[in-house]
Structure 1
Amino acid sequence: MASLEVRVVRSAKRRKTISATLEQGVLVVRLPARLSRAQEQYWVERMRARFQRREEPASGPETPLMRRAQSLNRRYFGGKLKFSIDWVTNQKQRWGSCTPESSRIRLSHELLKLPAYVIDYVIVHELAHLIEANHSPRFWALVKAYPQTDKAMGFLEGYHWARQGRELSTVELGHLIEVDEISVAVDG
């Protein structure tokens, strides 16, 4: 990748962020216009190194992800859906996304840390959007064909809470647990 073509895009609007993307085989580095040439060179090399080290999961027609999605397509949608599916690293707020117009599904690489049944749920969820773009009752009927939907949704909700580091309030805990009797031991 050392011979990778690099294009630098300076922006007066950028103040702090520096980013890089691979666009049609060209590493595009976006940075604030105020940086010196030495700083530019530093960041270009740093981004180039990051892309060299990156071990992004493979995507494309013959990848494990596509095979898995096609298997779920056959099982829950009769194999009738046509789509592309890729892992992405720039999706931080969503587990997955679907663009029905292009039949493109993108999954956050963060899913790779989670159990297989959760990944399968997200794939089924996004595949269902190819039939029903919104979250209507018809959409949920399609998704609920996957038997572990409720379990996966519960896992994702718990995972979301844990990632936020948020503790449950006493009131919220009261809704989650049933207390028959409270006893307090007092020493002394």
Structure 2
Amino acid sequence: MTSRPSIVLVRGDITEQDTDVIVNAANSSLLGGGGVDGAIHRRGGPAILDECRKLRAGHYGRGLPTGRAVATTAGNLAARWVVHTVGPVHSPEEDRSGLLASCYRESLRVAAELGAETVAFPAISTGIYGWPMDDGARIAIRTVREEAAGPVREVRFVLFDQAAYEVFATALAAGSAEG
């Protein structure tokens, strides 16, 4: 039986994390955007965009589907790789929580295939995609606890502000009490 990775919460900038993998909350085009996606592309430099363009010219000609993940170089970032995943836009009319969980699950799968031991996640879909932070944190923590395996020994959730950090800390404590 493999041991579960430790889950660490960090308040800060995900582009500054010295981990094997930084997960990018990308848009389906893989060509950069706003928020975390734009910050990773800016800080990582042109090598990331070059590899994303190659992915678009090949298997992902129509873009990366929601809930899937794919890896590129990390360019100028301290990380070794960037794993790009496309989160769902929140909808009060349709339960898309399975797609959000898939972002974390697929990113962990790709990270494990790369041999990554440390993975840094943002709070996927909780920005412009409108996912409520408390529900996003609950799904993120639960999925990482259930799905992280292989060489992954540490998962960091890098939260940009104190409010997000506190919501994730509450979800982490609640998850610890459950299991």
Question: TM-score of the superposition, structure 1-length normalised?
Answer: 0.24
Q: Which has the higher contact order (CA 8 A, sep 6+)?
A: 2
Greater C-alpha radius of gyration: 1
